[in-house]
Structure 1
């Protein structure tokens, strides 16, 4: 006997429900409502009291402080339990509003909506210590800049002074060279005059008073005489140690006799060198460049000689000479 359709459908549904184990749900076990006994409660309270009464270590206190600080720094809102918040609320402050009275006529409202942020200091210095450090650092930088600037200026002045000294030394050599040229040309003129005079003695450098020499090259003549006197004194000292002072050698030359101090001429030369010469002193006091210009000008005017060309021209026009200065001959 076949089953009826409703009964077959009910059987199939029951089979499906029985096979759908993937959608099965399991109810959580209900917590036990067993009451805490008096002994357990005493133990729990004792344990909690022990934890509360135990003093915290420095590390734990520091960690709690750090967490509180970070939480306060990360939050811009004032805790409603804060005493300052309560004081401002009593004066009419509302969270999100600005403090203070707005200024009339201002384009923008620059009142603070949030409290001023905290800045943690790692050192134990005072509030104005950073500003003082910045001021000292700025002064040290400025002082160092001044020192560097002065060092650069000193270095520039030192190089300039060295260059000037080298230039003056080079010009002093030119002055001595111009003096020698003047002396040589003067001696040539005197020699030419003595050759024209039949009664004159053979040519030799004349011996004349120092002040009769032109002041332009008088210093050269005086320096040569001083050097000769020093050489003579050394020679005289050497000879005096080797022979008697009253010894007279008939074969000894006149120059040796003068060197040994056996003629009155040596005494005259010494006196001439030791006399004061204001004219020469005034000329020696001039700048090196001015002395050189006087010598060069005298050579051109007196003998038509260009010191820079190293040439004596036949006439005063000195045709072919580039100019008066050394730069003109470069």
Structure 2
């Protein structure tokens, strides 16, 4: 043997074999081991004695899946009446060809009680669904109401400022009604400085913010100043206002 050739029993060759632990080989061994464990587990479960309920279920299923033998008295009677295996029942042979399957109920309650419970659960689900729908509807209505209140306050303040500005330009020194002008101006006119008086005044002025009062201010702006706060323009005359303004309300100016 030449020195260039490795001895098959040499330490060098044995070390190479030990280091040859490729991922594929490890994976195959792991898979094989796992398969063997699963197989052993199934074998142990098969050998494990079944409890009484499992034995009863197995016997029941075997009995239900076993066709009635030719020796059965009932079967003999059916054949005498013209029945043949595989045919449907009835004169036209269109009836069922398999026995009605037995449904085994594990519940200890009677059939009537079980139906009662099902109906009760169904009603609970329906009521819960109705409550959710009602809550959602109320939530949407509440949000819509809040949005309308915000628009009302915004429009009311805008109308007051426009009215005060246009009245002042025409040298009208007093508002037709106090709520036609802004809160700050009316507060100065009354000379309110005390905190208690200011709080009472604010409550009073807040109460003015209503659809009815807003309409009064808007109507005054259109009739006296030919002004539309939504279009933000002053018309030359009534015909110009009617021709170029869709109406006195916010909804008249909404797109679509």
TM norm structure 2: 0.49
> Which structure's relative contact order is higher, taking Cα pairs within 8 Å and 6+ residues apart?
1
Larger radius of gyration: 1
